[in-house]
Amino acid sequence: MSDLDREGLYRSLRRIHAFEEAVRSLWNEGRISGEMHLCRGEEAVAAGVMAHHREGDAVSCDHRPHGQFVARGVPLVDVLAELLGDERGLCAGRGGHMHLFSRRHLIATTGIVGAPAPLGAGFALALMRLRPGAAAFAFGGDGAANQGLFLETLNLASAWRLPLLLVCKDNGWAVTTWSKDVSAGDPVARARAFGLVAEHVDGMDPLAVWHATDRLLAHVRAGRGPAYLHARCARLDGHFLGDRMVRAARDLHEGADMGRVVVQSATERRGGRARDRARALLRMGRQVVRLKRGLGGGNDPTRLPPGTLGLDAGARRRIDDEVAAEIGAAVRAATQEAA
Amino acid sequence: MTRMIFEEAIDLAIADAMAADERVLLLGLDVPMLRAGLYARFGARRVLAAPISEGAYLTAAVGAAMAGLRPVVEIMMVDFITVALDALLNHAAKLEAFTHGRWRCPLVVRSACGAGYGDGGQHGQALWGLLASIPGLGVVVPSTPDDAYGLTASALAHDGPVVVLEHKLLTKNWLEFVGSGGRPGLSFDVPAAGHEGEVRRAPVPLGRAACRRAGDDVTLVSLGVSVHRALAAAALLGAEGISCEVLDLRSVRPLDVDAVVASARRTGRVLVVDEDYRQFGLSGEIAALIAEHGVSARFARVCTDDTIPFARHLEEAALPSVGRIVMAVRRLLAERARATRSASAPCAVETAP
Is residue B204 assigned to a domain? no
Residues B41 and B8 in one domain: yes
- The per-residue pLDDT for B212 is 98
Task: Supply the range of the domain harboring residue B281.
Answer: 210-334
Residues B270 and B167 in one domain: no
Residue-wise pLDDT tens digits, A20-43: 999 999 999 999 999 999 999 999
State the Cα–Cα distance between residues A259 and A263, nearest whole angstrom: 6
Residues B167 and B60 in one domain: yes
Is residue B341 assigned to a domain? no
- The per-residue pLDDT for B335 is 79
The B residues from 24 to 43 touching A (CB cutoff 8 Å) are 29-30, 32-34, 36-43
Q: Which whole number is the average pLDDT over B162-167?
A: 98
State the Cα–Cα distance between residues A122 and A144, nearest whole angstrom: 18
Phi, psi values for residue B252, rounded to 5°: -85, -40
Residues B195 and B214 in one domain: no
For residue B32, the chain A residue with the least C-alpha distance is A284
Residues of B in contact with A275 (CB under 8 A): 43
Is residue B68 assigned to a domain? yes
> Per the omega criterion (within 30 degrees of 0), is the bond before B254 cis?
yes
Q: B15 at the A interface (CB within 8 A)?
A: yes
Q: Which of B132, B166, B199 is the last residue of a domain?
A: B199
- Nearest 10 degrees: CA dihedral of A286, A288, A292, A295? 120
Residue-wise pLDDT tens digits, A174-191: 999 999 999 999 999 999
Q: Which of B199, B231, B250 is the last residue of a domain?
A: B199
State the Cα–Cα distance between residues B55 and A213, nearest whole angstrom: 31
Contact B120 A97 (CB under 8 A): yes
Vertex B125: Cα angle to B187 and A145 (nearest 5) = 105
State the Cα–Cα distance between residues A3 and A13, nearest whole angstrom: 17
Q: How many domains does chain B have?
A: 2
Contact B41 A177 (CB under 8 A): no
What amino acid positions of B are annotated as catalytic residues?
A: 123
| Burial of A298 per CB tally in 10 Å (0-12, 13-18, 19+) | exposed
- The per-residue pLDDT for A39 is 97
Judged by average pLDDT, the poorest of A302-316, B45-59, B275-289, B334-348 is B334-348
The amino acid that residue A154 corresponds to is: L
Asked if pLDDT for residue B340 goes beyond 60, the answer is no
- The per-residue pLDDT for A197 is 98
Is residue B77 assigned to a domain? yes
Residues of A in contact with B54 (CB under 8 A): 147
- The per-residue pLDDT for A339 is 55
Phi-psi region of B48 (alpha: psi -120 to 50; beta: other; left: phi over 0): beta
For residue B311, the chain A residue with the least C-alpha distance is A85
Q: The domain spanning residue B229 has which CATH number?
A: 3.40.50.920
Contact A272 B45 (CB under 8 A): yes
Residues B159 and B241 in one domain: no
Contact B44 A247 (CB under 8 A): no
Phi-psi region of B14 (alpha: psi -120 to 50; beta: other; left: phi over 0): alpha
Phi, psi values for residue A258, rounded to 5°: -65, -45
Q: Which whole number is the average pLDDT over A95-108?
A: 97
Asked if pLDDT for residue A296 goes beyond 90, the answer is no
Task: Compute how many other C-beta atoms are within 10 angstroms of the C-beta atom of residue B196.
Answer: 18
Residues A308-339: b if buried by 16+ CB within 10 A, e if exposed: bbebeeeebeebeeebeebbeebbebbbebbe
Instruction: Please give the ipTM for the structure prediction.
Output: 0.94
| Burial of A256 per CB tally in 10 Å (0-12, 13-18, 19+) | exposed
CA of A306 vs chain B CAs: smallest distance (Å)? 36
Is residue B342 assigned to a domain? no
- State chain B's mean pLDDT as an integer: 96
Asked if pLDDT for residue A1 goes beyond 90, the answer is no
State the Cα–Cα distance between residues B224 and B91, nearest whole angstrom: 27
3-state helix/strand/coil string of B281-333: CHHHHHHHHHHHCCCCCEEEEEEECCCCCCCHHHHHHHCCCHHHHHHHHHHHH
- The helix-helix angle for B282-292 and B257-267 (nearest 10°) equals 70
Residues of A in contact with B185 (CB under 8 A): 30
By C-alpha distance, which of A305, A299, A148, A302 is closest to A238?
A299
Contact B120 A111 (CB under 8 A): yes
Judged by average pLDDT, the poorest of A47-56, A288-297, B172-181 is A288-297
Contact B42 A94 (CB under 8 A): no
Q: Find which of B30, B53, B123, B173 to mutate to test the A interface (most A CBs within 10 Å of its CB).
A: B53
% chain B with pLDDT above 90: 93
- The per-residue pLDDT for A140 is 98
Q: How far apart are the first and last CA of chain A?
A: 46
Q: The domain spanning residue B168 has which CATH number?
A: 3.40.50.970
3-state helix/strand/coil string of chain B: CEEEEHHHHHHHHHHHHHHHCCCEEEEEECHHHHCHHHHHHHCCCCEEEECCCHHHHHHHHHHHHHCCCEEEEEEEEHHHHHHHHHHHHHHHCCHHHHCCCCCCCCCEEEEEECCCCCCCCCCCCCCHHHHHCCCCCEEECCCCHHHHHHHHHHHHHCCCCEEEEEECCCCHHHHHHHHHCCCCCCCCCCCHHHHEEEECCCCCCCCCCEEEECCCCEEEEECCHHHHHHHHHHHHHHHCCCCEEEEECCEEECCCHHHHHHHHHHHCEEEEEEEEECCCCHHHHHHHHHHHCCCCCEEEEEEECCCCCCCHHHHHHHCCCHHHHHHHHHHHHHCCCCCCCCCCCCCCCCCCC
Judged by average pLDDT, the poorest of A87-91, A263-267, B35-39 is A263-267
Q: Which whole number is the average pLDDT over B316-332?
A: 98
Residue-wise pLDDT tens digits, B77-92: 999 999 999 999 999 9
CB-CB: which of B19, B55, B309 is closest to A270?
A: B19
Residues of B in contact with A36 (CB under 8 A): 181
Is residue B347 assigned to a domain? no
Q: Residue B240: CB partners within 8 Å, gap ≥ 6?
A: none
Asked if pLDDT for residue A129 goes beyond 90, the answer is yes
Phi, psi values for residue B269, rounded to 5°: -140, 130
Residues B247 and B165 in one domain: no
Asked if pLDDT for residue B345 goes beyond 90, the answer is no
Q: Which whole number is the average pLDDT over B348-352?
A: 85
Label residue B249 by pLDDT band (50, 70, 90). Answer: very high
- The per-residue pLDDT for B341 is 61
Residues of A in contact with B50 (CB under 8 A): 182
Residues B311 and B237 in one domain: yes
By C-alpha distance, which of B286, B321, B255, B18 is closest to B152?
B18
Label residue B141 by pLDDT band (50, 70, 90). Answer: very high
Asked if pLDDT for residue B339 goes beyond 60, the answer is no
For residue B40, the chain A residue with the least C-alpha distance is A266
Contact B210, B246 (CB under 8 A): no
Phi, psi values for residue A199, rounded to 5°: -140, 145
By C-alpha distance, which of B63, B310, B80, B5 is closest to A175?
B80
CB-CB: which of B122, B186, B310 is closest to A85?
A: B310
- The per-residue pLDDT for B347 is 82
Is residue B177 assigned to a domain? yes
Residues B76 and B173 in one domain: yes
By C-alpha distance, which of A47, A72, A36 is closest to A302?
A47
Is residue B343 assigned to a domain? no
Give the β-pairing of B244-248 and B210-213: antiparallel
Phi, psi values for residue A47, rounded to 5°: -70, -45
- Nearest 10 degrees: CA dihedral of A33, A168, A244, A264? 140
Q: What is the total residue count of chain A?
A: 339
Judged by average pLDDT, the poorest of A257-261, B100-104, B179-183, B299-303 is A257-261
Q: Residue B157: CB partners within 8 Å, gap ≥ 6?
A: B17, B203
Residues B122 and B247 in one domain: no
Residues B101 and B133 in one domain: yes
- The per-residue pLDDT for A213 is 98
Residues B193 and B214 in one domain: no
Residues B175 and B299 in one domain: no
Asked if pLDDT for residue A244 goes beyond 90, the answer is no
CB-CB: which of A82, A266, A279 is closest to B41?
A: A266
By C-alpha distance, which of B88, B82, B84 is closest to B65?
B88
